[in-house]
Structures are given as structure tokens and as C-alpha cells.
Structure 1
């Protein structure tokens, strides 16, 4: 059972992180494409229509890939986590059903209308379609986060052999959800903006289609800076909610074993492999107290004290997450996000006052910086989920109790290998398509402006 549990956790972690590589790009690009489409409708400038179609193609690729990889997520609940599915199915099913029936239907339907409605729908109706797509992708994220937030802080339920839904409104207004949603969406702007920056920089370095890619670059820079600033603010709010709901997670984020008042925040630590004893620390006094409570002098409970409290409340056991992962995951999430913002500031400086200039290293930096927000997202989700361990539903169900009891290690290993190979193939397809269409020039102005019923993106 331990081997099957470990393999099931590896499989779910691998597929979840992989799937979330596409989600922030889809959410972020949907908004940015809608903004570009709006700029074209308002100004009538052909460059904005060319930009809308160019970025719309890349959005479409990521949307399709996100749908394919997301199907596996729900499939895994029944395959590897049947005990968990039986326990929370009554609650989990409601937001997931709304995500499929309402949000996904909204985004997929209006994406089709927008995709094939060029020169067929009135401009304002066509524009409304892409804004409804952007709204649908955001709404989809809300319902998915509602399900995840129940795992972090269960509300609106009662337990009669299994968790039963008694207040769906409480599930949709979970305080963890209300804090995590803006943090996630603003992070998606960071990823969408980084895509615009990287591809625009590649074209501008070659002097290609400056009228299209300079405004695209500037829009990407703005999106990154707004996303970075917003994630810092919303992350601060989320950290304080985390202290109220999962104090062990905030203590694990600092590897704070003993209760401290005030509690420092370490920027960098060298310690023993298991994270129990630091050898060297570079820390800021009182900062963890502020992050946890908005008071630089407040007390923050340590891991050892909390573990003892949980043992009294929930029974014997070890309620500590794996500290090195939570500690470094928290810092790498913040670090990679802020590095993305730093690149955006550099680009903003070199492209100020309508100029497109700068050394070659700047363009290369912008292109390679595209990986930074994806690393930030990945480490953020790893911290969020690993910091909750050993709970699969906090305070209600241990992760070890949620695994399918009849699945042996061989079955799980076989599916893990199959999914890994499949996702590897999809990764090659995704990268190849993004490179292929990212290197192409947008459709020429005369083609964009012709009125003769060209309803597709074939350019």
C-alpha cells in the first residue's frame, strides 16, 4: 500500500503540474487577446487586428492542450483515489459540474463563434464573444479553486459516513477561495504577459513587424508588472488566511520549528537535509510575523508546538509536511515571479518613448525569461499541496486513507509510465506548435482588412 500510495502521489503531482503549465497561459492570453481585439475595434488600426489574430492562434493552441491534459485530472480521482472520491464526491461534484456545464460551455461556445466569426459577425458582437471567452476561463478557475479550497479548509458540509454538502454557498465563499482566486488569476496575467514579451522580443530583435510587436511587447510588460504587483498583494492576504486555517503550512514555509515572537523570515538558509537544523541563515527580523498576522511583533507558532497540538486533537501521528520542499518551494515561487517582473522593468526602460532599441542580450533575456512564471506557478502549487500534508482534506482525511485500496503498485506504475509518455509526446507537440506559429509573421494588413468571408485562422 505504501508503494501504491507513493506512486499515486507522484502520478497526481506530475500530471497536475504539467496541466497547470497550460492553464495560466490560457487564462492570461484570453484577457490579453480580448484587450487587443478591443483596441482594434476602437481604433480601426490594422496592426491591432493582425496582433489579435496572431495571439489568438497561440491562445487556441494552449486552450486545446489544456483541455486534453485536464481530462486526466478527473480521471485520476476514480482510478487512484477512489476512497477519497467516495468521501468528498458529494461536495467535489458540485463545483466541478458547474465548471464543465457552465464555464467550459461558455468559453468553448463563444471561442467557436469568435474563431469563425471574423467578417461574419458584427464587430461588437464578435468582440463580445472573446470577452465572454475570457470571462469563461476565469469562471472555470473559480470553480476549480472552490473544489481545491475545500481540501485546504473544508466548509459547508457534515460527515455521515462521508462528507455531505449542506451549504453550497459556503463552499463558493470559502475564505481560502476568496484569497486564492485573485492570487491565481493575477499569476495568470504574469504568464500571459511573459508569452507576449518573449515572442515579441524575438520578432523585434529581427526588426520584423514592429507595428504589431511593439504594442504587443508593451502590453505584455504591463500585464507582467500588474500581475507581479497583484500577486504580492494577494499573496500577503492569502498568507494571513493560511495562518488562520493551516498554521502548520506557514510555519513549514519558514522551517520554524520553535514558536517565535517575533518570527523572522529567512531569505536564504543552509541546513541539514531534513531541515531540522540550520547551519547558516540570512533573515529579516519580524517579517514572518508580518506575513502571518500583519504585526511585526506577533507570535507565530512553531512546527513542534503545532505537531503536539494536532496529536492531541487528531490522535497520534506525525502532522509535519516535508519541510525542505515547503521551505524552498515558497521562496522559489516568489523568486521566479519577481525575476519575471525585473525582466519586464528592463524591457520597459529600453522601449520607452516609442523606441525599440537595446542590446542583443536584452532580447535574449526576454525570450528565455518566458520559463520564469511557469517555474513560479509550479513551485507555488507544490508548496500549496505539499504544505497540507499529511491531509488530503485538512482535518478530515489523511492522504494515505484516500488512495484506492484495490490498486497495487504495478497498476499505478503502469498508468504512471503511460501518462508520462503521453504527456511527453504532448509536450513535444505543444512546443513545436508554439515555435512554429510564434515565428510566423501575423497576417498582412490587406488580408486582415478584406471583407470576403475568410472565417479561419489559416494564414
Structure 2
């Protein structure tokens, strides 16, 4: 029987490392593009203030990039350590985008980030600008390949299960790359990263104006952030709608859970703004709804029915019974590899293999899947429902913040066009205090994407509980505690370094010679007897 405590601890560990890692990724994406824009203005105008701005925001980008690399490496190791059967089962598919990301995108970004920092006085203006844009392109390509891999987990296209190797294998790599879920997730996630970078630059610039420091650089940074942030915030909402529409086609249960839609409503379904959960987290006892809006948003039609949770659970029972047939045929094929008589079993398996993953849901309740009772089938079908109310509220937090950012940047874009950037200190404080909100929205979105897919690690193909390694309880407790402590320490160090850099403000040059390199590193470190001695 499956030890669900081990599975839950493995999920907690991966969630902790992934959520920590995703603190740094969107800021890296956003800052890389915005510093490239600022340097482009510097090359076109020759004004030194734009060079200072690029150097300043680029330094903060570098610290964040280093933290993203450190946290991302550990996360990828977990595929082999904590999720070994997942690596075996779908590694042929999932591994390819990760390998391409490392070879094509990460090396591009990591190589040129060194030239960005050390090439200011060694490259021409146009040459250095090219380097900066290559850093930005590399950051975006990294996100592309990671999200192609993750999109396949949400919608496993272009692959088929091979009963001889007991693995999923690629049949159409083009379909994997152009997976509609992956493409929708990519543009939505990257746009969210742009919003994150814009808010970060805007908030720190507001702080400078409140302090009366670095006013010229801060005002120009705010203008870029307000215009770029407005365009990005609009893109996030529009592309988020597209991502939801794609999920309606491929992940109906996730959409039903996000909308707390327990029963199928006549088309077009209403959209629930607020609801009170029923007993034991069941159907809402009271809700505030907008007629037709839910159906129009999710299906983009007046007559397409949006199925509710109960109907989807009934459909899952049908697929589980089909999966039982596939599982029994697979056992015959494995025996036939010795006996040489598995032709009929292969024909049966070919008809039912898309439902094999649903049959594996029964492994939580019994080893011999083919003999499952009606009660066990009903339990396995009920497991296909993710926890509704965490998804319901998290989605509304994310969506509300998305519209807030549109209004926020629209206001500041208008004020920037009128030259009113520093005329209202209250608004400047508001601009500074919104700093953490992009991460709230982004982590909420990541939670919805991953938590909403449960109980699947690969939608409809491999249950999460079946993908975990057979580790011991204390192995996971110790590793989870260690990673949480390590990542928290790294996060505190990163905050200290960023605060140190922000207090120092923009510099005239960076890494121009060896002495400058040492001075910058020492200045960025916390003040301790060791660093004081190093400085002397």
C-alpha cells in the first residue's frame, strides 16, 4: 500500500523549494528586459543617467540571478531523489526540454551576464547593448523551455506509453513544443515577470524620491516602469484569460474546482464572485454570482456547457474502469514477452492505454487493480477532485491583483505624462508599499497551476502518489528542514545584499578594474570584522 505520509512530505519539500525558487525567477525575467530597454535609451541618447540606471538595476538583477540559479539546481535534483518513479516513467519526455533549457538558454544567459558586468569598458556601446539583450533573451528562453516541460505535465501531448519499456516516449516533439497549454502558460508567466520587474523598479524609485536621492535616475526609471508595467499588466490579464480558456479544454476538473462549481449549470454558466463553503468544504451555502459571465469567460460561447465536479467525477469512474482493462492487458503483455503470445492483449491495450493513468489511481486502495470493487472505484474517482476552496480563493486573489496592477500603472502612466511623479508623497508611499504584491499574485498563480492539477503529477497519466520515491520518513523530515533553513538563510542574505546596494545607490562605473571589483564586493557584504579587515 502507498504510504501517503511519505508522499505528502515529498510534495511539501518540492513545493517549498519550487516556491522559494519562483521568488527569483519572475524578477530575473522582468529586470533583464527593463535594463535592456534602459541601455537602449542610453545608446540612442548618450545620456549618462541612463547608463547609471542600467548599471544600478543590472547589479540588483545579478544578485537575484545568482539566487535563482542556486535554488533552481536543488529543485531539479529532486526529480531523481524524491520522485524517482516519475523520472523513470516520463523522463524521456520531460528530460528533453530541461536539457535544451540548460544547453540553449541558461548557458546563453550565464555566459553573457559575465560580459554584461565586466564588459562596460571593454566593449563598444552597441556591443554591450547586444550582450544585454542576449541576457534578456536567455532569461526568457529559460522560462520557455521550463514551461514547455511543465505544460506537458498539464496536457501530455505528443507522447505515448510503451508497454515494452514501461515508459512514456515522445511520438511528436513538435506537438510537445507547441502544446497550447505550454504556450499559454509561457506568455502569461513571462508577462507576470514583466509586471514584477516593473513594480520592483517603480517601488525602489518611489523610495528614492521620498528620500530626495538620485532623483533624475529615479524619475526616468519610474517613467519606463509605468509604461512597461501598464502594457505588461494588460497582457497578464488578457493572456491569463487565454490560459484559463485552454485549461477549460484540457483540465476541466481544475476549472470546476477554481469556480467551486459542484453542479453542472445550464449554459452559459454564472460566475461566482464570493461564496460561503458548505459543510465539510462542500457546495457553497450562499454565493454572489454574475449571470452568464462564467460561461462566457471560460468557454467563449453561449451554448457550451461547463461541467461541474459531480459530473466530472462520474466521468472519471468510466475512465477508471477503462484503465482497469488497460492495466490487465499490460500485465498480459509483460507475461507475453516471455510466452510469446500477447497479440490480443496488445490490441486491447492499444484501445485503452489513454486511461491507464486512471487505473493507477486504484493503486492507493489495492495492489491488484483489475479486481477493484465499486466502492474502491468510487473512492479513486473522488480523488480526482482537488481541494476546492483553497483554489477558489487563491484564484480570486490572483485575479484581483491583476486588475489592481492595471489601475495602478494606468494612474502612474497618466501622472508621468503630466510631470506629476513627485508631487504627492502619499502616492509615493503607496507606490513603495505595493512592492510585495507581485510576488503574492505570482505565487498564487503557481499554486493554482500545480495544486489544481492534483491528484496528477502528469494530468491523466501518472498519479502523484505513484510517482514518489520509496524514502523513509526521517529522510524527508531532515531534508525538508535542511532545505527550508538553507533557503530562508539565502533569502535573508539576498535581502541584505539588495538593501546594501540600494543604500549605496547608482554608481558611475562597475567592475572597471580589479580594485573596483574588490571595493564593490566588500561594499555589498554585511559589515563584520572579517569584511572590515578585508576592506583595510
Q: TM-score, normalised by structure 2?
A: 0.82
* CA–CA distance in structure 2, aligned partners of residues 332 and 10 of structure 1: 22
Paired residue for 2:459? 394
Unaligned runs of 5+ in 1: none
Counterpart secondary structure, 2:276: strand
Map 1:59-458 → 2, pairs under 5 A: 59-160=61-162, 161-261=166-266, 262-272=268-278, 274-315=280-321, 316=377, 317=380, 318=382, 319-405=384-470, 407-444=471-508, 458=520
Question: Once the two structures are superposed, what CA deviation does each residue of 1:329-388 show, in whole Å capped at 9, x if it has no partner?
Answer: 211111223223333234334444223333332122111201111010101111111111
1:455, distance to aligned residue in structure 2 (A)? 8.1
Q: Runs of 5+ in structure 2 lacking a partner?
A: 322-376, 524-536
Q: Residue 295 of structure 1: SS of its match in structure 2?
A: coil
Determine the C-alpha separation between the residues in 1 that align with 2:513 and 2:255.
Answer: 59
* TM-aligned CA deviation for residue 297 of structure 1: 4.8
Farther-moved stretch of structure 1 (232-241 vs 418-427) = 232-241
Please state whether the residue corresponding to 1:22 is helix, strand or coil: helix
The answer on whether the counterparts of 1:40 and 1:48 sit within 8 Å (CA) in structure 2 is: yes
Preserved CA contact (<8 Å) 1:347 1:362: no
Instruction: Spell out, residue by residue over 1:384-410, the C-alpha distance to the aligned partner (whole angstroms, 9 max, x if none).
Output: 1111111111111100100102x0221
CA distance in 2: counterparts of 1:29 and 1:297, whole angstroms = 43
After TM superposition, the structure 1 stretch with the greater mean CA deviation from structure 2, 382-391 or 338-347, is 338-347
Q: Secondary structure at the match of 1:20?
A: helix
- Bigger Rg over Cα: 2
Using the size of structure 1 for normalisation, the TM-score is 0.95
Q: Offset of 1:451 from its aligned partner?
A: 9.2
How many residues were matched structurally? 455
Choose 43-52 or 10-19, whichever is displaced more: 10-19
SS of equivalent to 2:211:
coil
The range that moved more, 216-225 or 97-106, is: 216-225
Check 1:237–1:364 CA distance in 2 against 1; reply closer, same or farther (3 A cut): same
Q: For 1:165 and 1:271, how far apart are their aligned partners in 2?
A: 42
Residues 214 and 274 of structure 1: is their aligned pair in 2 closer, same or farther, counting only changes over 3 Å?
farther
Residue 118 of structure 1 contacts residue 454 of structure 1 at CA under 8 Å; is this kept in 2? no
Q: How far did residue 310 of structure 1 move? A: 1.1
Aligned to 2:364: none
Contact 1:186 1:227 in 2 (8 A): yes
Root-mean-square deviation (Å): 1.9
Within 2, Cα distance between the matches of 1:413 and 1:453?
45
Which string of whole-angstrom CA distances, capped at 9 and with x for unpartnered residues, describes residues 229-253 of structure 1?
Answer: 1011111111111111111111111
1:358 and 1:248 map into 2 onto residues whose CA distance is 50
Contact 1:26 1:63 in 2 (8 A): yes
1:107 Cα deviation from its structure 2 partner: 0.5
Check the 8 A contact 1:343/1:369 in 2, yes or no. no
* Conserved? CA contact 1:16–1:73, under 8 Å: yes
Counterpart CA distance in 2 for 1:273 and 1:408 is 36
Secondary structure, in 3 states, of the residue corresponding to 1:178? helix
SS of aligned partner of 2:120 = coil
